[in-house]
Amino acid sequence: MKIHNASIIVLLRATSLLSSFSSAFISSSEDSKVLDLDEDLIIGATSVSVESSSAEFDHWIFQHSKSYSNDSEKKTRLRNWMATNNKIQSHNKRYAAGQVSWYMKHNEYSDMTPDEFADYFHLHNKVNSLEKVMGGFQIVEDTNSETNTARKLRGQTILTDTSEPLDYDDMGFVTAAKNQGNCGSCWAFAAVGALESVRAKYLFENDLLDDRTEALVVLSDQEMIDCAGANTGNYGCNGGWPKSAISRYTAKQNGVCSEEDYPYEAKDNLGCRTSNCENIPYTTFGKSKYVTSVRNNERSAPKIDEALDINPLIVAVVVEPYLDWMNFGGGIYNDPACGDDSYTGVNHALLLIGRGEENGNSYWRFKNSWGKNWGEDGYIRFERQWDLENNDGVCGMLRYGMTTTLDVVQSEK
């Protein structure tokens, strides 16, 4: 990514999100020396501005426990970090001016280029149909349906939003955000997140345990990666489909393992090892179902809300632009460049856990799997257009909503 000198000089002199750390870190860090950056990066920049940026970068390294093999690699990573810092400051000026509804921040991915970030989370391959991951099932487009050409067009059949605010995380039915790492396993994390929440909600609502903390057990994502294999339409760290994993693997088991017994490894080459753990009580689940008719190209915000009233939902989305997502910090995300109104190819899975309103703006809230330092403690909020129909919605979130249920009869045996 080419960095423009004038922009860097101006932005580095401006107050950055990390400027409060600079002076303290310069005096205390042994590594606060200015790296010998390429000439085209620093022509015209004052030594103070470059030193300040290098000091902030060193603090970021300390904060995220980063290490580099040599000065050449560190110089490359500093260059990437400065480009990210440039983007963050530029975007956040627009946020402060009220021009956008979400802000950006530094996190552990700030020294990557956007393409490196996409490679790390295996985001380059989009699912444009379910033929690959569903073993031959092909989506049939509904050519007779009308598609809204802009998300601002509202539905015509519903006049008022009657849905109440809802947050399963605040209710204690959602485990903390996890980190899938360098493995394309978002499908497993989204699926397991749904299982965890459905189980916890059922146990608490039926007075089967004393409190929510006993109901909420962290289940094994690694089991899903290892055991829901190619025969279920899933491919470990190379991608998969949550609905297929639940319906073709989990629903056929008598229970699943805990994270404690079967910890995450971000690998997919060690085979299924469920014999080494005991199934957690009340983890026999039914098949997963779509919220809307995918075959008929149905997309409906009201139906998503209706299903959300029952349980958290798995949602497939597209992550784009990469830089937006790489350093999303907070607020309500609604970039029109994310997704397509009529047909969105998806490359990521999230867990939809609630909806609410902030300063008159309605939103949906999602749990992601990129760690707690990303976004809002590992979560992201999308603009919620409660009456949107025949439109994929923000980042395509209305196209593939999936839910599951606890198999109560089998679980109680």
**Distance between CA atoms of residues 140 and 378, nearest Å:** 35
73-to-63, 76, 80, 315, 392 alpha-carbon distances in Å: 18, 5, 11, 37, 41
Distance between first and last Cα of the chain: 58
Candidate list 183, 186, 257, 277, residue with the active-site label = 186
Is residue 277 annotated as part of the catalytic site, yes or no?
A: no
Bridge partners of 167? 354
Candidate list 122, 237, 348, 395, residue with the active-site label = 348
- Tokens standing for residue 87: 């983007």
The radius of gyration of the chain from alpha carbons, rounded to an integer in Å, stands at 23
Contact by Cβ (8 Å): 277, 260: no
Place of tokens 């299903």: 307
Q: How many CA atoms lie within 13 A of 320 on its CB side?
A: 18
DSSP-derived 3-state class of residue 191: helix
If we measure between CA atoms, which residue out of 391, 195, 377, 401 comes closest to residue 286?
195
Work out the number of other CB atoms within 10 angstroms of the CB of residue 57: 27
Contact by Cβ (8 Å): 275, 240: no
Scanning 97-143, the segments in alpha helix (DSSP H) are 114-120
If we measure between CA atoms, which residue out of 36, 115, 132, 47 comes closest to residue 76?
36
Place of tokens 């809230």: 365
- Tokens standing for residue 66: 């980063």
Burial class of residue 21 (count of CB atoms within 10 Å of its CB; 0-12, 13-18, 19+): middle
Is residue 227 annotated as part of the catalytic site, yes or no?
A: no
Active site residues: 186, 348
